[in-house]
Amino acid sequence: MTRPPAPDLAERVRALGRALGFDRVGFAGAEPTERSRFLGRWLERGFGGSMHYLAARREEREDPRRVLSGARTVIAVSLVYGPGDAPGPPVGIGQVARYAQGEDYHDVLGDRLRAFEAGLVALVGAPIRTRSYVDTGPVLERVWAERAGLGWQGKNTCLIDREHGSFLFLGVVLTDLALPADAPEPDHCGTCRACLDACPTQAFPEPYVLDATRCLSYTTIELRTPIPEPLRAGQGAWVVGCDVCQTVCPWNRAARGPALSDPLGLRARLAPREAWRQPTLHWLLGLSETAWRERTRRSALRRTRYQGLLRNALVAAGNSGAASLVPALREHAGGSDPLLAEHARWALDQLTRG
C-alpha cells in the first residue's frame, strides 16, 4: 500500500518539478470528470476526422485509472516555449507553427518527466507507481492541466496561463501517490471572441469547441489525403500547423514567456531552427526527401511527412501571389505523385488566372 504523504510532500514534489525546468506544476485527482468525458461527444460530432486512434482508447483517455491501475493523482506540468510570429509573412515565405520550429518537444519534455518520476521515488522513500506522457499516450493532458490549476481552457480550446499565455507544452505524470488537489483556475475569457473571429478556416462551430477537420493544425499535419479545396485559401502561407488563434489572444500579448529563465536550457532546445523560422516556399518546393530527413532530424516536423510538407507548400504557393514560383509548380504538376500534382495544378490556377 502506498505510504500516505507527509504534510510538506506536495510542495516538495512541486519544487522538484520546477527544479527540473517546468514552469508550472499542479495536482488533480485521477477520477474522471464531465470535462474528461467530452471526448465521446466530440467524436460523435465527427470533429476528430481521420484521427481514429482517439476513439480506439477512448475509455482510457476519459479515465486515467484505466491507464495506470490504482492511480490517485495526475501531476500536470507546463513549459513555456515562447510566442509565435505575427500573421502575415513576406511574400514567398512559408509559416511554421512556433511549437514545431525547434527540437521535438516530445523528447525535451519526455527526458524531464522521466527524471521527475525517478525523483518522486526518492522523495517518497517508498515504492510508488508512475507513468508519464507528453502528447503520446491515451491521456488528455489539457483536461488534467486545467483541473490541476495550470490554467483554463480558452474558447480556442488551448490551455491559457494567466501569466504566461498559451504557448505552452504540457505533460502529465500519473501516480498512485495521493497528493492534495489544486484549485482549478477560473475562466478569464469573458466576452472576448478574438480567437474565434480570427480563425482563417472557421474551425470553431461554437466557443470552446474545435472542429479539427477544419483546423489547419489538422489539415496540414494529420490529414494524409487532399486538403479540401474550400479550406485552401484560408491556409494562407501556413505549411505546418497554425498559430493564428493564439497570436491574437490578449493573454499572449501580455505574456511573460521571453522573460523566463532557462537554467537547464530547455527553452534553448526548443528555440527555432533557422531553416524553419521563415522558410521560403521556393526552398520547400525544391526540397528532396533526403534533405527533408536531414532538416527534420529530432523535430516534431516529422509528423507532417515529406509528401505532406510538399502538399502544404503547394497550397501556400497558390496563395502567395508569387509568379516566381510558377516553374516549380509546373514541375510538380507534371510529376508522378498524383496528390502533389493535383495541388500543384490548383496552385497554378490561383497564380495564373485573371
Residues designated as active site: 135
- DSSP states along 131-192: EEESSSSS--HHHHHHHTTS-EE-TTS-EEBTTTBS-EEEEEEEESS--PPPPPPPP--TT-
C-alpha cell, 226: 487532399
Q: Where are the extended beta strands (E) located within the chain?
A: 24-29, 73-80, 95-96, 130-133, 152-153, 159-160, 168-175, 238-240
In degrees and rounded to multiples of 5, residue 247 shows phi and psi of: -60, -35
CA distance 54 to 280: 34
Query: Which among 224, 229, 228 has a CA at the least distance from the CA of 50?
Result: 224
Specify whether the CB–CB gap between 109 and 81 falls below 8 A.
no
Number of helices (H) and strands (E) in the chain: give both, helices first: 18, 8
CA angle 253, 313, 216 (to 5 degrees): 45
Label residue 157 left, alpha or beta by phi (over 0 means left) and psi (-120 to 50 means alpha).
left
Query: Which among 331, 16, 10 has a CA at the least distance from the CA of 148?
Result: 10
Strands 73-80 and 168-175 come out as antiparallel
